[in-house]
Structure 1
């Protein structure tokens, strides 16, 4: 099919170390070599290490993969193999394997010579044709075995290239990345969606009415408090801006949002939403936090989250990553009232970075979940940037629940975070739009309605029948 504008998942953001180093245009050109495919970043040497064990842990049994290397002279080059890495100790025949280099903006493909093995599937780092070795001896270098001397039967070199042309004879790598290559299934009108959604103006109006007329299950709580937690740049602040935009009837940007290597949110903020410019406050408050970061002493601290959950942290409190929140002595001596506590926790996860989530960050989220579980607070996962994760969804948001790729990402989030699949809600926040869009609104409002439902589940669980309205 004719490829539309590709998504922005792999922008070149040097300040965000776990994102891809190739630009959107370069990614588009690489996809053109492979057909209608999706690239998912599996391994990034600067993040996961140059050791062969780190490579195999993340890249074995992943199917077709594309390796992209970058040296200090600005050359971008690499190789593709359609056969799994398995550490089998066998020579791999792969007629689809190729090397490539960028010549300006265009990648030039160097196909494998016939009757040659594409690579040796050992326990080391990737190599192609016993000629080109990446991260050689667990170092940030590339090594070229010249000539036609091999330790297996071959008539000619597997790939015809010169090091000067391929990488400018600069063997020092500044980065090496490996991507999983997946064919994107074609979406047809005959396919059955894996979730049912009414993409209509009537459904949007119905959801807005349900939210406007919502009353918390407990009379002492006038507005439920929903806490947004997630990694830096996942879209917590953008979700508030998006919900606020829907009820204001125009695109708004009240909460600071954007792309950065560290959290743009440095304060604990509680954001009420009004029903229009002069309207009354709606019956919920979205609470925004500093982003989670994997490093110790960076981002939001687990103990700070505990204080927020229990209602001790005031609006606009400025977080200090090196020192946990200490409540005032008078407030610490009494428990917060139910209306001050958090009633629903929402984990905000970027759909384009799920596979790249580090073990440290995953464990940090798990620690948060254990704390939230101990308090019995309802939890939901908001999976953002679904349009950037799948080109077909970017082309038509209504294909979201027809996309097997998005479904696989929902299942991956469920597995990594230990939440039911039914609690993972894909959405698209407003980011570059100038006008509201029906499909975005339906997804966002559906997610918000589910948060209110979950908040009621929590209130129903913790409160006695006497405290409920008759």
Structure 2
């Protein structure tokens, strides 16, 4: 039997893959072939892992949604941090993040998002939505932009999303790094003996900013582990729904110390370097809302001339060759592409984006992991010295 043809053009498929990163799409279900019955959809799409639904209507809109959680007809409300809606009609693709804790209802009906937006409803080729869906999305829901308010479908497809393992390597590493025990000891000595460029400053102050689960606390734990000589967990870390980093709470207004508020902050009390922490596995899924927040922060930091850099965490989870051997990190063209993507989306130079791997499930230290972590600290200290140097020349 000949394989079922996809309605997506090559360019449309590329646009969708740009949302999802390094993936391959395999067609599981096509409504014009298998029918618009919910039972037919579930027969072909249940327990297939991450899936991408693509719907088409008479106005030429191509829209749908992604979920990283299996369809299973469990009857449960699904939590999915990666779920989103999209529309790729026109030059500028639209992406709408779905509320993490109400991503969809895993029922026996047709595929749905935010529990109120159904793609084909009651076995009919129509999109159904309830206005209450607005409260279940992380940004305003505009049906006109999503599908032109044309609720009649001409086709509906569901694709299995597979992470591709075809990651190429450069003949020459795009960054040079020494992976030796001697280099690790050199870096540790440099960091232990570091003295800020300004005599009036006893220690460097670094502010780390990033979404929940990106790896801020894990980075702190990892650095502490390197200098302790064994894996530690001094700062709480994990994947809870709220941040476990208590030093900086993005939901609470900043309350300055009353004594300090009456006078200008000293150089010792100021921030000397800002570090954004970004999960490499979620760069392509970064919401417009998060990107705008980071852009706003970056603009304010730029206004006070504080150096900025990015830590790109979980690199081993995004590239299988790096997972096998961290030494491949600067030979991987895929990691380089991710560094360039972070650079473009956050507006920082490529040279200011450093991929790292935090300690998470390991019981013992690893040389190459230590060297990446220590290199990151060295860069932060260098950036802080750049800040002091600029002040000294004013």
TM over 0.5, shorter chain: yes
- 2:323 aligned to which of 370, 379, 394: 394
Is residue 142 of structure 2 the alignment partner of residue 185 of structure 1?
no
Among 259, 266, 270, the alignment partner of 2:239 is 259
CA contact (8 A) 2:18 2:284 kept: no
SS of structure 2 residue aligned to 1:463: helix
Report deviation, 1:234.
Answer: 0.4
Deviations 1:258-295 (A, max 9, x none): 11122112x32xxxxxxxxxxxxxxxxxxxx34xxxxx
- CA deviation vs aligned residue, 1:134-183 (integer Å, no higher than 9, x gap): 669x942457799xxxxxxxxxxxxxxxxxxxxxxxxxxxxx88747645
Could you tell me whether the CA contact under 8 Å between 2:184 and 2:371 is conserved in 1?
yes
- For residues 305 and 198 of structure 2, what CA distance do their matches in structure 1 show? 16
| 251 and 64 in structure 1: CA distance in 2 versus 1, 3 angstrom threshold | closer
- Within-5 A mapping of 1:84-103: none
Aligned partners of 1:392, 1:337: CA distance in 2, in Å?
47
Given candidates 336, 340, 352, the residue that maps to 1:411 is 340
Asked if the contact 1:66–1:78 (Cα under 8 Å) also holds between the matched residues in 2, the reply is no
* Structure 2 CA distance for aligned equivalents of residues 378 and 208 of structure 1: 23
Query: Which residue among 215, 230, 235 is the counterpart of 2:195?
Result: 215
The SS at the match of 1:237 is: helix
TM-superposition CA deviations, 1:220-255 (whole Å, max 9, x none): 111101111100000001111111111111111111
Aligned to 1:65: 25
- Where do 1:360-371 residues align within 5 Å? 360-371=289-300
Are the structure 2 counterparts of residues 423 and 60 from structure 1 closer, same or farther at C-alpha, using a change threshold of 3 Å? closer
Match of 2:213 in 1: 233
- Tell me by how many angstroms 1:459 deviates: 0.8
Distance 1:338 1:232 in 2: 30
Matches of 1:79 and 1:439, distance apart in 2: 32
Q: How many angstroms apart in 2 are the aligned matches of 1:329 and 1:383?
A: 36
- 1:192 deviates by 1.0
* Residues 102/260 of structure 1: CA separation in 2 closer, same or farther (3 Å cut): closer
Is this contact kept in 2: 1:68–1:76, CA < 8 A? no
| Count of residues in correspondence between the two structures | 291
Structure 1: distance between partners of 2:324 and 2:311: 21
- What SS class does the counterpart of residue 218 from structure 1 fall into? coil
Distance in 2 (CA, whole Å) between partners of 1:68 and 1:226 is: 48
For residues 49-198 of structure 1, the aligned pairs below 5 Å read 59=16, 64-66=24-26, 75-77=46-48, 139-141=117-119, 179=161, 182=164, 184-187=166-169, 191-198=171-178
Change (3 A) 1:356 1:80: closer
* CA contact 1:64–1:80 (8 Å) conserved in 2: no
SS at match of 1:76: coil
Cα deviation 1:431-453 (Å, max 9, x = unaligned):
11111110001100011001000
Larger Rg: 1
Give distance in 2, aligned partners of 1:370 and 1:242.
29
Q: Which runs of 5+ in 1 are unaligned?
A: 1-54, 90-100, 104-120, 124-132, 147-175, 269-288, 291-299, 301-320, 466-470
Q: Which runs of 5+ in 2 are unaligned?
A: 1-11, 30-37, 61-69, 73-87, 91-109, 126-157
CA offsets per residue over residues 397-416 of structure 1, 9 Å max, x none?
Answer: 10111111111110100000
Of 345, 348, 351 in structure 2, the residue corresponding to residue 422 of structure 1 is 351
Q: Deviations over 1:314-355 (max 9, x none)?
A: xxxxxxx2x512324432120111111110000000000000
